[in-house]
Amino acid sequence: MSKPGPAGKQSKDELSVLFWNVENLFDDQDDPGWFDDEMLATNHPEIYDLKIERLQRILAPFAQKKAVICLAEVENRAVLERLLQGLPNGPDYNIVYEHNTFARIKQAVLSPLPVRHTEAIDFARGLRPILKTEVLWHGQSLTIYVNHWKSRRGGQSKTAHKRRLAAEALYADIQTLRTQNAAAEILVVGDFNDEPFDPSVQRYLHAVDNRPAVLKNDELLYNCLADPRYRQRYAGTSSHKGHWQLFDQMLVNSGLLDSRGLYLKSCQIYDGKGQLVYHGQPNRFGDEEELIPAERGFSDHLPVLMQLGFWYPADDDA
């Protein structure tokens, strides 16, 4: 069980961590033998340029203050390099990206912080691996898991077992990490294609909306956006047939809830000062048939955002 130590001095600075499913960030190149030829930007550099510009517009304020940026639905490392070229502090960012040969879309982390370790948790053939990375802030290690679980295409019940596999693999790795380091501080982000109270998240990932319960039982995770206090304006992050779905979530372990090291300050669904919502729905970039360039938005998902702080030890005068 995680026990809070004596409260020290809270740092004045904070670390922002943003997760965003950026809706098919593909380049304009048709790669032979790859499944990208039907994507919107392929062979259309003007569409690719527009997509990059739209994303940079939203991400620039976060890059300015050196936030950690976690992404889903990127095609390759090249699109990440292009994205960073137009962002403040772009040269200072490390790209965390693991290529694989079967997943058409992947996850990535853009980190201005030192990266100590990165790996892809490849848990089942044909399913997207989970991207795991360890960064350092204030000399404290933070392990981030970036997820993009199987979609509900084909039916929620018919695909549920694939999301369960992801949840079980993720939870097993977290438990292994905690066995190796009982003081580990862990952040889980991603597009889970399930909501907080679906079995994959609640039962198999052991994620709850009760912060005190997690402090009492460090085998649980705290699902911040399942807690109504952090979800005041929007009922979800994506929509289907006009109904909001809370697929994009941020979870922390007990190490980020106590009064030692890093700690959770706040969490929210981010709407880009209103830019990311159009007529009460995500302001999506869209496909070739739906939108002309001047009317395109950003993504079919809203980002989720967390701020972390740091406790100096009680005997530290820093």
* pLDDT, tens digit, 9 for 90 and up, residues 177-218: 999 999 999 999 999 999 999 999 999 999 999 999 999 999
For domain 13-312, the CATH class is: alpha beta
> Phi/psi at 217 (nearest 5 deg)?
-135, 100
pLDDT greater than 60 at residue 53: yes
Show the tokens assigned to 103: 């997943």
CB-CB contact of 247 with 190 (8 Å): no
**% of the chain exceeding 70 in pLDDT:** 91
Helix (H) or strand (E) holding 314: none
Q: Where are the domains of the chain?
A: 13-312
Q: Give the Cα separation of 43 and 38 in Å (integer).
A: 10
The pLDDT score that the predictor gives to residue 42 is 62
pLDDT greater than 50 at residue 3: no
pLDDT digits (tens, 9 = 90+) for 75-126: 999 999 999 999 999 999 999 999 887 778 999 999 999 999 999 999 999 9
If one compares 159 and 293, the residue with the highest pLDDT of the two is: 159
Mean pLDDT for the chain overall? 91
